[in-house]
């Protein structure tokens, strides 16, 4: 059960995605704190009534900032939504739904994501949806439609990306095609894993292709790698709580 999520914010000037907050649950209480990433951009503004960047906010109910990012169960596509996320029908925890879906809305500047934790086998595992598909040519979208669950994808550094020097493209094998980007809030950590354990041991595979889903949920991927000794996920300074 997910108990800790981070909130990423898109800086409109630098195009960076910065972790600006952390949402967690302790028993029956939800807690939200801003992280140091919120102080890295002069463009960032606090959310709603949570105006103090150094406060710890506690509530019995999920904060509206996050609750409004959950699809209502009354929506006719809710069952399809669970399928896109790889979940079975039934009741699901709010943090699990947010972490799986990203809580993103169309043309939104916010996204929610989980911080990976080592599995019992000491493996780094994280699922995510491919980003940037709407910017790909139709031929690339057609190639995504032909992908099969379990098919291997390959990471490629986008060295000349002006907004993210750590950007990671994902490509297929033959016939070669770009199928999107890893989420920017993971790209630096994924690159670090490649440096620590070797690129051949960091594997990305197709989890599902959702042909009936919006583009943001079209291609679900899964990255796995050995968990390096002494490694801590989400350890960059921007992830550290201010509260």
172-229: pLDDT as tens digits? 998 899 999 999 899 989 999 999 999 999 999 999 999 999 999 999 999 999 999 9
**What is the CATH classification number for the domain harbouring 199?**
3.30.70.2330
| pLDDT more than 90, % of the chain | 83
- pLDDT score for 26: 86
Tell me, yes or no, whether 56 and 23 share the same domain.
yes
Whether 219 and 120 have beta carbons less than 8 Å apart is answered as no
Tell me, yes or no, whether 85 and 145 share the same domain.
no
> What separation in angstroms does the CA of 61 have from each of 22, 25, 27, 125, 190?
16, 10, 12, 29, 33
In a domain, 98, yes or no: yes
At residue 36 the predicted structure's pLDDT band, cuts being 50, 70 and 90, is very high
Contacts of 121 (CB under 8 A, 6+ apart): none
Contacts of 52 (CB under 8 A, 6+ apart): 46
Tell me, yes or no, whether 8 and 110 share the same domain.
yes
Residue in this structure with the two tokens 């000794």, named with its chain if needed:
229
- pLDDT score for 53: 98
| pLDDT more than 70, % of the chain | 98
Structure pTM? 0.92
Tell me, yes or no, whether 8 and 108 share the same domain.
yes
* DSSP 8-state assignment for residue 164: -
Structure tokens at 86: 């790889």
- pLDDT score for 162: 73
Contacts of 46 (CB under 8 A, 6+ apart): 34, 38, 52, 53
In a domain, 238, yes or no: no
Alpha helices in 109-213 (DSSP H): 138-146, 184-197
If one counts the domains in the chain, the total is 2
Mean pLDDT of the chain: 93
- Residue 167, pLDDT > 90, answer no
Average pLDDT over residues 12-34: 92
What is the domain extent for residue 23?
Answer: 4-115
Contacts of 230 (CB under 8 A, 6+ apart): none
In a domain, 92, yes or no: yes
Tell me, yes or no, whether 151 and 190 share the same domain.
yes
Residue 171 burial (10 A CB sphere; 0-12, 13-18, 19+): middle
Average pLDDT over residues 136-162: 92
Tell me, yes or no, whether 57 and 93 share the same domain.
yes
| pLDDT (tens digit per residue) in 69-119 | 999 999 999 999 999 999 998 889 999 999 999 997 766 789 999 999 999
Whether 85 and 77 have beta carbons less than 8 Å apart is answered as no
Tell me, yes or no, whether 16 and 111 share the same domain.
yes
């Amino acid at each position: 059960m997910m108990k800790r999520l981070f909130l990423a914010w898109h800086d409109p000037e630098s195009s960076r995605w910065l972790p600006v907050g952390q949402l967690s649950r302790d028993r029956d209480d939800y807690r939200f704190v801003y992280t140091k990433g919120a102080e890295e951009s002069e463009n960032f503004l606090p959310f709603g009534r949570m105006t103090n960047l150094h406060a710890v906010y506690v509530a019995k109910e999920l904060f509206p900032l996050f609750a409004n990012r959950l699809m209502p169960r009354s929506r006719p596509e809710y069952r399809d939504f669970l399928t896109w996320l790889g979940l079975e029908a039934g009741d699901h925890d709010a943090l699990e739904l947010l972490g799986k879906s990203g809580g993103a809305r169309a043309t939104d500047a916010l996204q929610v994501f989980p911080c990976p934790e080592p599995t019992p086998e000491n493996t780094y595992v994280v699922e995510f949806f491919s980003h940037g598909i709407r910017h790909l040519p139709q031929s690339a979208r057609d190639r995504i439609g032909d992908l099969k669950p379990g098919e291997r994808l390959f990471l490629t550094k986008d060295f000349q990306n002006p907004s993210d020097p750590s950007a990671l493209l994902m490509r297929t094998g033959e016939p070669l095609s770009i199928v999107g980007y890893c989420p920017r809030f993971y790209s630096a950590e994924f690159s670090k894993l490649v440096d620590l354990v070797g690129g051949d041991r960091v594997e990305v595979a197709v989890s599902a292709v959702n042909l009936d889903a919006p583009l943001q949920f079209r291609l679900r991927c899964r990255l796995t790698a050995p968990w390096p000794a002494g490694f801590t996920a989400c350890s960059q300074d921007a992830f550290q709580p201010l509260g």
